[in-house]
């Protein structure tokens, strides 16, 4: 197997495109001492070209019969790879909740002791839960379909033929080929290795890549950063190391997020408030008051049910699910739900240049000979370098397209590209008995400081061109100082293709106050020129990352002051993400190459291109399957829509919780009958919270989400709920003194209901700002619905609401108006005191 040398400093490492190739032990692989293999019917062992060795395993892989035997024995990589929760988990997660259980008990009680009107809240919960299940099932279908598209396809060698298969089809003993960017999908032992370096940091925390030789173990969950080779699977399925740590299948998990943890905190406090309040209310209504027993129970339940913000949890799940569906339609795979929330909070996005701002393809525009080099000879060298790589990246593919194969030369040793070195190399036997060693990579790394050629290169870089230096090495390829004293032979000038949508995308981020930082392994001047063509603010101030300070604080300041960075190593990318986070920034990182993995893992949100390496797709929370940078604005906008709207509607739910708890406490303290029956609060909740919240949660919202969700919501909910409870209870007490006779209680409740509805609809009007035609129509429709209930006779009887006289109803309106003004002033005071 020939080593795949990567010349692209920060580009994707494409796979073989699904192609199959026969493994001919007599041509591509040189025979060594034959050692019978227990897995391969006595096939002789083979080794790679010079520079690679082999272990006692057949390099032709398993036979079809051997694969069938292992499948029959169950020795298959059967870890369930799911991108979403199972159907059973979705149903259980939506049905079996703490508050559904409480409401269910109360519902059964009301079905027994009260008319059906007072049990409407139970039917609403059933309908809402059903909506939540349906939406999440739709999201599951979308995610599962996208996961199949984005699934890693390892290359497995069987019967001497290499082909891509599904990860779940790997069997024990399979021979799996690996190259730069490939993820190790099962545990195994190295069979062939040519400069194979594997990063195990995601498993062990050790940042330095590990050089692997034949016989060395490899662990699932690690990935290849340089070199190539193959390994045989020794542990598959749940026995593999990564599977024992945690099943990657749980990608659709409700992992930590501020939104969900904040709602959980609110629900915890609500639960503790409900317990003593409910006990006091029960005692007050059932023991202290000598009323009809069934009616007392109905009023007691009417006081307990509205304390529960059950719709808030449901609405959050629905908003997330619909967000997943919307993004799925744009070929965007969300591997973790909280990623949608995280996108709403992003204020800095770090962009990899190659594959993000530029397209994968390149073109050789010029070959500049140096130091009297012969043109035909240099072309032979480039042709040989191209022939040595069976899976070329964008840079080398451009060279292959421009210079024909050199069949006279044979590659005897290769040095794989690494982002730390910034160059690759190969040694050749030239066919005439002579041998030579060549390096191809970054000119400013291979040439000594002050070399006059660097000035010429700077002029090319300023035009946005990419330049590779071809140099002949004086020493051995495996020497750590092989680049020292290398003789420059030619400059290969490449033109990168800008993505047509990149400029508009960068402009969007600028308009949304999201700082864009271009972080690339390429020459800093070249990266700055590309950013300048795309009108990125600050592109004129390009920083060579080799000059950046190691201190995190100083690096953070440099990142704040500049926007374009070149010659960035993989570890520096990771450090840059950490430095930005240390300044309180929420960082999204985009990338597609193996050198981006560490930074993607540490970023708040990792975004990978669908054509990127398996390793980047594995650690990213979001995968752009269409490889379109232009999809990012839609992704960010969807995140902002979800989190912004949930923050808005949470205020509606929690205002209701606050005023419900306070009303119950006022009733207990004053020893009066509770104000409302369940039917009254069901009507109010539906018109002022339930229906409006559903529409508001799905509305467009471009505001960047702010931190401290609980504090931000409660600073509105507490004053709003307190004013609503006080005004409503005041109306109720006045009504108790105003009305007498057998119909007094219905009149009292009706007056209190009118006050509370007007206050709640005003809170809705505040939350719905800024107004649009449909928001005004929504508020008007809810108001019209309440008016119908108050004037249509059969609806009056159904909800047991009827305004009596004019004095008290107008008094209720006046109290509501004063309370609405108080809430308006309170909300504005909070806005001024605590900036959004």
Per-residue pLDDT tens over the stretch 476-531: 877 778 888 888 889 998 887 788 888 888 888 888 888 999 998 887 888 888 88
Check whether residue 422 and residue 490 sit in a common domain. yes
Residue 427 has pLDDT above 60, yes or no: yes
With a cut of 50, say whether residue 31 has pLDDT above it. Answer: no
Q: Which of 171-185, 685-699, 778-792 is the most confident on average?
A: 778-792
Q: What is the pLDDT of residue 622?
A: 86
Looking up residue 339, the CATH number of its domain turns out to be: 3.40.50.1000
Same-domain status, 515 and 661:
no
What is the strand order of the sheet 358-369 is part of? 358-369, 487-498, 466-472, 435-441, 423-429, 410-415
Mean pLDDT of 158-173: 88
Q: What is the pTM of this model?
A: 0.66
Mean pLDDT, range 581-594, rounded to an integer: 86
Q: Do residues 552 and 575 touch, judged by C-beta distance below 8 A? A: yes
Does residue 482 lie within any of the structural domains?
Answer: yes
Q: Write down the mean pLDDT value for the chain.
A: 79
How far apart are the C-alpha atoms of 48 and 415, rounded to whole Å?
Answer: 14
CATH number at residue 432: 3.40.1110.10
**Cα–Cα distance between 619 and 601 in angstroms, integer?**
6
Query: What is the domain extent for residue 745?
Result: 261-321+647-833
* pLDDT value at residue 676: 85
- In terms of domains, do 723 and 829 share one? yes
CATH number at residue 679: 1.20.1110.10
Same domain, 410 and 513: no
For residue 213, being part of any structural domain is answered with: no
* pLDDT of amino acid 233: 92
The answer to whether the beta carbons of residues 12 and 609 sit under 8 Å apart is yes
pLDDT value of residue 291? 58
What would the mean pLDDT of 249-258 be, rounded to a whole number?
46
Does residue 47 surpass a pLDDT of 50? no
* Listed range (40-49, 67-76, 364-373, 519-528) with the worst mean pLDDT: 40-49
Residues 6+ apart with CB under 8 A from 791: none
Looking at the structure of the chain, the number of domains it has is 3
pLDDT value, residue 704:
67
Q: Which of residues 589, 610, 635 is at a domain's end? A: 635
Are 541 and 586 members of one domain?
yes
Given 497, 528, 557, the domain boundary residue is: 497
| Residues 545 and 589 both lie in one domain | yes
Q: What region, left, alpha or beta, does residue 101 occupy, with left being phi > 0 and alpha being psi -120 to 50 degrees?
A: alpha
Looking at the predicted structure, is the pLDDT value of residue 252 above 60?
no
Same domain for 733 and 807, yes or no, is: yes
pLDDT in tens, 124-159: 778 777 877 887 787 777 767 766 665 678 899 998
Nearest to 519 by CA among 342, 357, 346: 357
Per cent of the chain over pLDDT 70 is 84
Strands 487-498 and 466-472: antiparallel
In terms of Cα–Cα distance, which of 366, 419, 674 is closest to 571? Answer: 419
Confidence of residue 763 (pLDDT cuts 50, 70, 90): very high
Write down the pLDDT at residue 758: 96
- Given a cut of 50, whether residue 619 has pLDDT beyond it is yes
* pLDDT tens per residue, range 531-555: 888 888 888 888 988 888 888 888 9
Instruction: Write down the pLDDT at residue 702.
Output: 73
Q: Residue 759 in contact with residue 687, Cβ under 8 Å?
A: no
Residue 667 located in a structural domain? yes
Q: Is the pLDDT of residue 278 over 70?
A: yes
Q: List pLDDT tens digits, range 237-247.
A: 877 765 655 44
Name the pLDDT band for 22 (thresholds 50, 70, 90): very low
Dihedral, 258, 264, 270, 272 alpha carbons, nearest 10 = -120
| More confident: 322 or 563 | 563
Is residue 600 assigned to a domain? yes
- The answer to the question of residue 379 being in a domain is yes
Q: Which of 352, 575, 596, 602 is catalytic?
A: 352
- Sign of torsion, CA 53 58 64 66? negative
Using the predicted structure, report yes or no on whether residue 580 has a pLDDT greater than 90.
Answer: yes
Rounded to the nearest 5 degrees, what angle is found at the Cα of 518, between the Cα atoms of 517 and 521?
A: 140
Per-residue pLDDT at 390: 61
Angle between helix axes 310-328 and 87-95 (nearest 10 degrees) is: 150
pLDDT of residue 16: 35
Choosing from 609, 635, 661, the residue where a domain stops is 635
- 174 as an active site residue: the answer is no
- Inter-helix orientation angle 709-738/258-283, to 10°: 30
Alpha-carbon gap, residue 211 to 75, rounded angstroms: 29
Q: What is residue 398's predicted lDDT score, i.e. its pLDDT?
A: 83
Mean pLDDT lowest for which of 196-210, 657-671, 753-767? Answer: 196-210
Same domain flag for 492 and 533:
no
Give the model confidence (pLDDT) of 679-724 as tens digits. Answer: 888 899 889 988 898 888 878 777 766 777 888 888 899 999 999 9
- Is the same domain home to 481 and 542? no
pLDDT at 80: 54
In this structure, the answer to whether residues 731 and 676 fall within a common structural domain is: yes
pLDDT at 208: 67
Say whether both 526 and 630 belong to one domain: yes
- One-letter-per-residue 3-state SS of 413-458: EEECCCCCCCEEEEEEECCCCCEEEEEEECHHHHCCCCCHHHHHHH
86 assigned to some structural domain: no
Query: Residue 331 pLDDT more than 50?
Result: yes
Q: 548 in helix, strand or coil?
A: coil
* Cβ 639 vs Cβ 706: under 8 Å: no
The separation between the first and the last C-alpha atoms of the chain, rounded to the nearest angstrom, is 59
Report yes or no on 105 lying in a domain: no
Q: Which residues contact 21 (CB under 8 A, 6 or more apart)?
A: 161, 162, 390
User: What does the pLDDT read at residue 817?
Assistant: 96
For residues 549, 554, 559, 560, the Cα torsion angle rounded to the nearest 10 degrees is -160
Specify whether the CB–CB gap between 234 and 187 falls below 8 A: yes
Going by C-alpha positions, the residue among 621, 462, 602 that lies closest to residue 539 is 462
289: confidence class by pLDDT, cuts 50, 70, 90: low
Tokens of 189: 């032992």
Residues 571 and 616 occupy one common structural domain: yes
Mean pLDDT for the stretch of residues 227-236: 89
Residues 66-102 have pLDDT tens digits of 999 999 988 888 765 455 567 887 788 778 777 777 7
Band of pLDDT at residue 15, cut at 50, 70 and 90: very low
Number of Cβ atoms within 10 Å of the Cβ of 101: 11
pLDDT category at 784 given cuts 50, 70, 90 is very high
């Amino acid at each position: 197997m020939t080593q795949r040398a990567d010349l692209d400093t920060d580009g994707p490492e494409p796979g073989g495109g699904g192609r199959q190739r026969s493994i001919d032990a007599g041509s591509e692989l040189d025979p060594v001492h034959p050692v019978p293999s227990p897995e391969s019917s006595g096939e002789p062992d083979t080794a790679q070209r010079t520079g690679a060795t082999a272990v006692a395993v057949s390099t032709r892989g398993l036979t079809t019969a051997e694969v069938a035997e292992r499948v029959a024995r169950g020795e298959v990589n059967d870890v369930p790879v799911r991108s979403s929760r199972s159907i059973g988990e979705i149903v259980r997660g939506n049905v079996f909740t703490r508050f559904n259980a409480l409401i269910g008990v109360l519902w059964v009680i009301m079905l027994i002791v009260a008319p059906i009107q007072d049990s409407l809240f139970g039917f609403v919960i059933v309908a809402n839960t059903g909506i939540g299940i349906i939406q999440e099932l739709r999201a599951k279908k979308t995610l599962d379909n996208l996961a199949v598209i984005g699934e890693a396809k390892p290359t497995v060698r069987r019967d001497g033929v290499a082909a891509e298969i599904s990860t779940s089809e790997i069997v024990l003993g399979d021979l799996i080929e690996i190259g730069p960017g490939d993820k190790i999908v099962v545990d195994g032992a190295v069979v062939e290795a040519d400069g194979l370096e594997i990063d195990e940091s995601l498993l062990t925390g050790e940042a330095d890549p590990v050089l692997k030789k034949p016989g060395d173990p490899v662990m699932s969950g690690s990935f290849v950063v340089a070199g190539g080779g193959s390994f045989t699977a020794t542990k598959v399925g749940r026995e593999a190391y990564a599977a024992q740590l945690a099943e990657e299948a749980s990608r659709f998990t409700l992992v930590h997020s501020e939104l969900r943890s904040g709602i959980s905190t609110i629900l915890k406090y609500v639960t503790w408030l409900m317990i003593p309040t409910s006990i006091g209310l029960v005692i007050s209504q059932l023991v202290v008051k000598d009323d009809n027993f069934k009616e007392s129970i109905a009023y007691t339940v009417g006081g307990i049910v509205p304390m529960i913000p059950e719709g808030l949890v449901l609405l959050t799940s629905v908003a997330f699910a619909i967000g997943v569906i919307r993004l799925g339609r744009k070929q965007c795979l969300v591997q973790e739900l909280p990623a949608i929330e995280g996108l709403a909070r992003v204020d800095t996005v770090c962009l990899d240049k190659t594959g993000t701002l530029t397209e994968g393809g390149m073109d050789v525009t010029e070959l500049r000979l140096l130091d009297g080099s012969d043109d035909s000879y240099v072309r032979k060298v480039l042709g040989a370098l191209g022939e040595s790589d069976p899976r070329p990246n964008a840079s080398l593919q451009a060279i292959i397209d421009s210079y024909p194969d050199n069949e006279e030369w044979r590659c005897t040793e290769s040095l794989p590209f690494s982002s730390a070195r910034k160059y690759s190399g190969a040694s050749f036997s030239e066919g005439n008995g002579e041998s030579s060693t060549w390096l191809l990579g970054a000119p400013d790394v291979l040439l000594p400081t002050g070399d006059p050629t660097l000035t010429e290169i700077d002029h090319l870089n300023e035009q946005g061109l990419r330049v590779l230096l071809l140099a002949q090495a004086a020493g051995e390829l495996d020497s750590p100082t092989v680049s020292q004293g290398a003789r420059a032979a030619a400059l290969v000038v490449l033109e990168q293709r800008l993505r047509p949508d990149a400029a508009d995308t960068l402009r969007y981020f600028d308009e949304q106050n999201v700082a864009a930082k271009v972080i690339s392994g390429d020459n800093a001047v070249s990266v700055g020129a590309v950013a300048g063509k795309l009108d990125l603010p600050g592109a004129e101030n390009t920083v060579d990352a080799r000059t950046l300070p190691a201190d995190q604080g100083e690096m953070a300041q440099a990142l704040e002051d500049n926007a374009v960075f070149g010659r960035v190593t993989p570890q520096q990318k990771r450090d840059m993400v950490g430095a930005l986070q240390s300044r309180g920034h929420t960082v999204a990182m985009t990338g597609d190459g193996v050198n981006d993995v560490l930074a993607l893992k540490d970023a708040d949100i990792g975004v990978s291109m669908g054509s990127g390496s398996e390793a980047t797709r594995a650690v990213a929370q979001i995968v752009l399957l269409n490889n379109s940078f232009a999809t990012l604005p839609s992704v960010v906008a969807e995140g902002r829509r979800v989190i912004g709207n949930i923050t808005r509607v949470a205020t509606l739910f929690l205002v209701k919780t606050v005023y419900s708890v306070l009303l119950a406490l006022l009733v207990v303290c004053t020893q009066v009958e509770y104000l409302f029956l369940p039917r009254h609060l069901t009507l109010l909740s539906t018109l002022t919270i339930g229906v409006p919240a559903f529409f508001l949660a799905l509305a467009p919202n471009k505001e960047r989400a702010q931190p401290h969700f609980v504090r931000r919501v409660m600073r509105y909910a507490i004053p709003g709920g307190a004013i609503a409870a006080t005004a409503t209870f005041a109306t109720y007490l006045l009504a108790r003194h105003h009305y007498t006779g057998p119909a007094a209680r219905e009149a009292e409740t009706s007056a209190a209901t009118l006050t509370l509805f007007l206050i709640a609809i005003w809170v809705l009007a505040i939350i719905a700002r800024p107004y649009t035609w449909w928001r005004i129509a929504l508020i008007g429709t809810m108001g019209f619905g309440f008016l119908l209930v108050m004037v249509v006779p059969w609806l009056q009887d159904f909800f047991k609401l009827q305004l009596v006289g004019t004095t008290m109803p107008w008094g209720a309106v006046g109290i509501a108006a004063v309370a609405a003004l108080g809430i308006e002033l309170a909300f504005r005071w909070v806005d001024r005191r605590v900036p959004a």
